């Protein structure tokens, strides 16, 4: 409780009263964009790491 000023959640800079709780419009935009997109579509980054599993043709076995 040393400083009464709020800090920008984006860059931890001192917040500007005009852009509270952010320090600038840029940080406000960044946070807003993240908030808007974060809830709906999170960029899928876990696609990599999958070893081409369907590479083998796996021919149909005809056992008659």
Residue 29 within binding range of Zn ion, rule CB under 5 A: no
Q: Positive or negative, the Cα torsion across 44, 42, 8, 26?
A: positive
Residue 10 within binding range of Zn ion, rule CB under 5 A: yes
According to CB under 5 A, which one of 25, 27, 30, 63 is a site residue for Zn ion? 27
- If the CB atoms of residues 14 and 36 are measured against Zn ion, the closer one turns out to be 14
CB of 17 to Zn ion, least distance (A): 13
- If the CB atoms of residues 3 and 50 are measured against Zn ion, the closer one turns out to be 3
Burial 4-15 (b: 16+ CB within 10 A, else e): eeeebebeeeeb
Whole-number Å distance between alpha carbons of 28 and 43: 21
């Amino acid at each position: 409780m040393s400083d009464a000023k709020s800090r920008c959640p984006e860059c931890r800079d001192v917040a500007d009263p005009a852009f509270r709780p952010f320090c600038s419009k840029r940080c406000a935009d960044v946070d807003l964009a993240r908030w808007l997109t974060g809830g709906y579509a999170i960029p899928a980054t876990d696609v990599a790491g999958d070893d081409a599993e369907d590479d083998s043709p796996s021919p149909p076995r005809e056992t008659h």
